[in-house]
Chains A and B, each alone.
Chain A
Amino acid sequence: MIDSPYWNPKNETMPREELKRLQLFKLKRLIEWAYERVPFHRRRFDAAGFQPDQLKSLDDLRRIPTMTRDDWVTAQTEKPLWGDLIATEPRNAIRYHLTSGSTGRQPLRALDSTKDWEWISEMWSYGSWGFGVRPDDVVYFAFGYGSFIGFWGAHYACEKIGALVVPGGAQTTERRIEQILELGVTTVYSTPTYALRLWQEAVEMGIDLAKSKVERVIVSGEPAGSIPAMKRQLEHGWGAKCGDTAGMTEIGTIFTFECSEQPGGTHIIEDHMYEEVMNPASGEPAPYGELGERVVTSFGRGFIPLIRYRSGDIVMRVPHNTCKCGRTSDIYDGGIRGRWDDMKLIRGTNVYPRAVESIIREYDSIDEFQIYVWRDENNIRDEITVRIELKPDQQAEWEEVRERLGKDLAAAHEGLRFNLELMPQGSLPRYELKAKRLVDARPQAGGLQG
C-alpha cells in the first residue's frame, strides 16, 4: 500500500475540469437509472418536461425540480413502507435505517444493499483517512448503534482501514472513559456535545484525558463541530485534534469532512456527490463566499436515488485552494452553519441557534445551556431566554458571565435583549446523539415548536 495522505489520490487531487467531467458522466447514468426505475423521479421529471437525454451539462441539472424531505415523507405515507422511491425490490436490501426523529417529525425510512454499504463506509473512509486514521489506530465509537444511522458507516470505514475498532455501545459515560483509557484508544468518534460530556465526566472522575493516548476526536451529527470555540474546548480538554464531518440519513453517510490541515472548513466529497449551493429565496445558485442552502445529488445509494435534495443546511462554499492539503474538492467554510428551518424570528431579529452557541462556547465556565423562546403573558411580545448551567467550580463567575454574555449576544443580534437564567447543576438535558437545545414554547396551532 502506498503511503498517501489521501484515501483516493486519483480523484481527491483530480483537476477540477476533470472532476466536472466525471460528475457529468455519473449524473447522466444516475438520472437515466432514476427515470427508468423510480416512479417518484419519473413523475417529477415528466411534470417538469425533462427527459434524461436533455442532460448535456451540469447546469442542465437545474431543469429538474428540487425535492424535499416532505416529498420523501409524503411518498412513504401514501404508500407504506417505502413509497415509490425505491429502484429495486426490498429483498435486495440488507439493512434498514431511519432518521433520528430528533425534531419530532415523522422519520424517513431508508433501505440499502451490500454495495450501498460499501459506498456508505467508503465516504467515511475518505474522511477518516483524511483526518489521519491509520491501520495502527485504536478507534472508539461513543455511539449506541441503534436504527439511527449515525456512526455505523464510520465503524465499517475504520474496519476497512484496518484499525482496531471498539464499539462503545450501550454503556455509561464512566465506563466508556475507562475503556478509552484501558484500551489505549487513539481516535474517538462522537457528537461534539457528547465529546464535551465525556471530557467533563472524566474531569469529575479525576482523569485528565489530555494525558491519554487519544490523538484525534472526530465529530459529526451537529453543526457545533466547526464552531471554533467548541473545537478549541474539545482540543484543549482532550489534548487531541478535533475534526468535523457532516452527513445525513438521506444519503446514509457523510458528504464533507475536515482534513488534517484543518482549514476552518470541510472538504466536499465531490467525486461521489454533486453539491449545489442555492439562494433559498430565489432558487438561483449562490456564488463562492455567499451563504446558501445545500442541495445534494448523491452518486452513491442507488436504492433510493437522491436527486437535487434540499437539505436545509446553511453553508458557504469556498474554493478548494483555501486549504493547502492538495485536495481539489471545494470546501464548506465553517462546515455546516446551521439549518434554515432552525431560524427563529424574535421581535424582528433572526436568531440562529448555532450563532448563539458559537458565542456561548467562548465561555469556558459554561457547562450546558438551553435556548428557550416564549411569549409574554399578554401573548404579544416574544422573548428569548438562555438557560445556563455553570461548571461546578465556576458558580462564583455567574454575575460576570451574565453581564458579558448578555452584551455579546445582544451585539451579535442587532441589540436584541436575551434573558439569562442560571440553572441548578444537572437540571438541563444532556445528549449523546443530536443535541436539541432549542425549545420554542410560543403558542402555536400545532402545540410546542422546536
Chain B
Amino acid sequence: MPRKETDLLGHDLSDNEEQLRAVYRELKQLAQRSDLPPCAARGVRKALACMWQVVNDLDLEFEQLYDVGV
C-alpha cells in the first residue's frame, strides 16, 4: 500500500490538501522552465505565489521561492 503523504506536523493529508499540494508542485516545476513566453512565465509565478500561501497556511510546505523569482 503506498505511503500516505503528510503535512509538516506528520498528519495525513486530506484529499483537498493532496490536490492543493499537487497544484503547488506543478506550478513550481513550471516556474523553473525557461521556454515559456512572458505572459505564461509571469502568470505562473503569480499563481505560484498564491499557491505558496495556501500550502504555507495549511502547513503543507514551508520554503522560500526567491530562486525562481517569486
Q: What is the interface of chain A, defined by CB distance below 8 A to chain B? A: 8, 10-11, 18, 21-22, 25-26, 29, 33, 87-88, 92, 113-115, 117-119, 122, 271, 299, 302-303
- Which residues of A have CB within 8 Å of B9? 18, 21-22, 25
What is the CA–CA distance of A122 and B49 in the complex, to the nearest angstrom?
12
A-B pairs with the 10 shortest C-beta distances? Answer: A88-B66, A118-B53, A115-B49, A114-B49, A302-B64, A118-B49, A92-B66, A115-B70, A115-B52, A8-B57
What is the CA–CA distance of A303 and B59 in the complex, to the nearest angstrom?
20
Q: Is the CB of B62 within 8 A of A26?
A: yes
**5 further A-B pairs in the complex, CB-CB below 8 A; given A117-B49, A299-B62, A302-B66:** A10-B58, A21-B9, A29-B62, A114-B70, A122-B53
Distance of B45 from chain A, by nearest CB (Å): 6
Q: Is the CB of A119 within 8 A of B45?
A: no
* Chain B, range 9-62, C-beta contacts under 8 Å to A: 9, 45-46, 48-50, 52-53, 56-59, 62
What is the CA–CA distance of A21 and B67 in the complex, to the nearest angstrom?
27
Distance of A88 from chain B, by nearest CB (Å): 4
Q: Could you list 5 examples of A-B contacts with CB < 8 Å?
A: A22-B59, A92-B69, A114-B45, A114-B70, A302-B64
Q: Is the interface of A mostly helix, strand, loop or mixed?
A: helix
Q: Is the CB of B59 within 8 A of A113?
A: no
Q: Is the CB of B50 within 8 A of A22?
A: no
Q: What is the interface of chain B, defined by CB distance below 8 A to chain A? A: 8-9, 45-46, 48-50, 52-53, 56-59, 62-67, 69-70
- Which residues of B have CB within 8 Å of A18? 9
| Inter-chain CB contacts under 8 Å: number | 58
Q: Is the CB of A22 within 8 A of B8?
A: yes
What is the CA–CA distance of A13 and B70 in the complex, to the nearest angstrom?
30
Q: Is the CB of B50 within 8 A of A87?
A: no
Partner of B66, one of A25, A26, A113, A118: A113
- Chain A residue nearest to B66 in the complex (CB): A88
Q: Is the CB of B64 within 8 A of A119?
A: no
- Which residues of A have CB within 8 Å of B8? 22, 25
What is the CA–CA distance of A26 and B58 in the complex, to the nearest angstrom?
13
What is the CA–CA distance of A283 and B49 in the complex, to the nearest angstrom?
37
- Chain B residue nearest to A19 in the complex (CB): B9
- Chain A residue nearest to B10 in the complex (CB): A21
- Chain A residue nearest to B17 in the complex (CB): A10
- Chain A residue nearest to B53 in the complex (CB): A118
Q: Is the CB of B62 within 8 A of A25?
A: yes
Distance of A95 from chain B, by nearest CB (Å): 12
- Which residues of A have CB within 8 Å of B48? 115
Partner of B63, one of A21, A29, A92: A29
- Chain B residue nearest to A18 in the complex (CB): B9
What is the CA–CA distance of A88 and B50 in the complex, to the nearest angstrom?
20
- Chain A residue nearest to B63 in the complex (CB): A29
Q: Is the CB of A11 within 8 A of B65?
A: no
Partner of B57, one of A11, A115, A117: A11
- Which residues of B have CB within 8 Å of A113? 49, 65-66, 69-70
Q: Is the CB of B59 within 8 A of A10?
A: yes
- Chain B residue nearest to A302 in the complex (CB): B64
- Which residues of A have CB within 8 Å of B62? 25-26, 29, 299
Q: Is the CB of A303 within 8 A of B53?
A: no
Residue from B50, B52, B56 whose CB has the most chain A CB atoms within 10 Å: B56
Q: Is the CB of A118 within 8 A of B50?
A: yes
Q: Is the CB of A114 within 8 A of B53?
A: no
Q: Is the CB of B58 within 8 A of A119?
A: no
